Structure 1
Amino acid sequence: MKLGDYLPPENIVLDLAPPSKAILIKQLSILAAERLALGAGEIVRVLTNRETLGSTGIGAGIAIPHANVKGLDRHFCLFARLAKPVDFEAVDDEPVDLVFLLLNPENRPDHLNILSCIARRVREEETAAAIRRVTTPQDVYSRLCPLNA
């Protein structure tokens, strides 16, 4: 499984500047809704509900908010690098600046493989450092989704 199979280059967003976790989830939901032609309110609702079960902040400045969305026919992934880290109630209590949004069709258990693929790729210190310093979405994409990984 390759991250590039789920994360297209056009779904890389740089320098998003939310003041809080709640606003970040709303901004990500709006971006996803625009690309999927779905209602942002439902996406906000399912992501917020998922976060009440426990933060999807996995540590090292990284979060992977994810949820199942009714009516979705394929997995949807979006990456956002934040202009300034926000408190995401992460497991290590560190603020988050690298965020992967993963939306999944209902009744599709394969999303766990995608989550694992994202986590493995971005937890590589060299990869995380590179995507924090590059300046274009294409540069981020080439670090996250190299041809051989």
Structure 2
Amino acid sequence: MKLSQILKPEAIKVIASASSKKRLLQDIGELAQSAYGLDQSLVVEALQERENLGPTGVGHGVALPHARLEGMDQVLGAFIALEKPVDFAAIDRQPVDVIFALFAPENAGVEHLKALALVSRSLRNQALCKKLRSNSDPATLYAILTSDQDMQAA
């Protein structure tokens, strides 16, 4: 699996700031709807339900919100870069500015886990995150995410 298989160029957005985690989840829902035609309210609800189980802020300014949704046939992703970090209740208590959301079919087992592992492994790379944080053009961000960072998932 490669990031280019789960992420479309249209699913990348740079946002100046989000007023809250809740607003950021709304932004993710809007992006999922515009890029993939997913139902915004269902996406937001599913992401919020997952966040209620435990925050998906993994540390170092990175969050990986994810949810399973009815009616999907493959894992899809959306990327948001925030110019101003937002509190996401991350495990290291640092605000987040790099967000990669994943949406998986309700019955996706291994594929969802492979995608989550791939994104997590990719965004643990501090050099990659530095490149992402220093660019604000969605096309450039897509190129950075899908270029030499494409790795095989375990």
Indicate if the aligned counterparts of 1:17 and 1:82 stay in contact, CA closer than 8 A.
yes
Give the aligned length: 149
1:73 paired with 2:73, answer: yes
Q: Which runs of 5+ in 2 are unaligned?
A: none
Pairwise mapping of residues 11-50 of structure 1 onto structure 2 (< 5 A)?
11-50=11-50
1:141 — aligned with what?
Answer: 142
Contact preservation (8 Å) 1:122, 1:144 = no
Letter in 2 for 1:145: T
Alignment partner of 1:90: what SS? coil
Aligned to 1:8: 8
2:95 matched residue in structure 1: 95
State how 1:105-144 maps to structure 2 within 5 Å: 105-109=105-109, 110-144=111-145
Normalised by the size of structure 1, how large is the TM-score? 0.93
Following TM superposition, where does structure 1 have runs of at least 4 consecutive aligned residues deviating by more than 4 angstroms?
none
Which stretch shifts more, 88-97 or 34-43? 34-43
Q: Which residue of 2 aligns with 1:62?
A: 62
Counterpart contact for 2:11–2:78, Cα < 8 Å = yes
Matches of 1:54 and 1:17 in 2, distance apart?
23
Of 82-91 and 32-41, deviating more is 32-41
TM-score by length of 2: 0.91
In structure 2, the residue corresponding to 1:93 is in which secondary structure? coil
Letter in 1 for 2:60: A
Q: 1:126 to 1:20 in 2, by over 3 A?
A: same
Contact 1:16 1:80 in 2 (8 A): no
Separation in 1, partners of 2:44, 2:60 = 24
Unaligned 5+ runs, structure 1: none
Asked if structure 2 preserves the Cα contact closer than 8 Å seen for 1:21 and 1:88, the reply is yes
Q: CA RMSD in A?
A: 1.4
Distance 1:132 1:80 in 2: 11
8 Å CA contact 1:85, 1:97 repeated in 2? yes
Do the aligned partners of residues 37 and 143 (structure 1) sit closer, same or farther apart at CA in structure 2, a change above 3 Å counting? closer
Deviation, structure 1 residue 106 = 0.9
Higher mean C-alpha displacement, 57-66 vs 32-41: 32-41
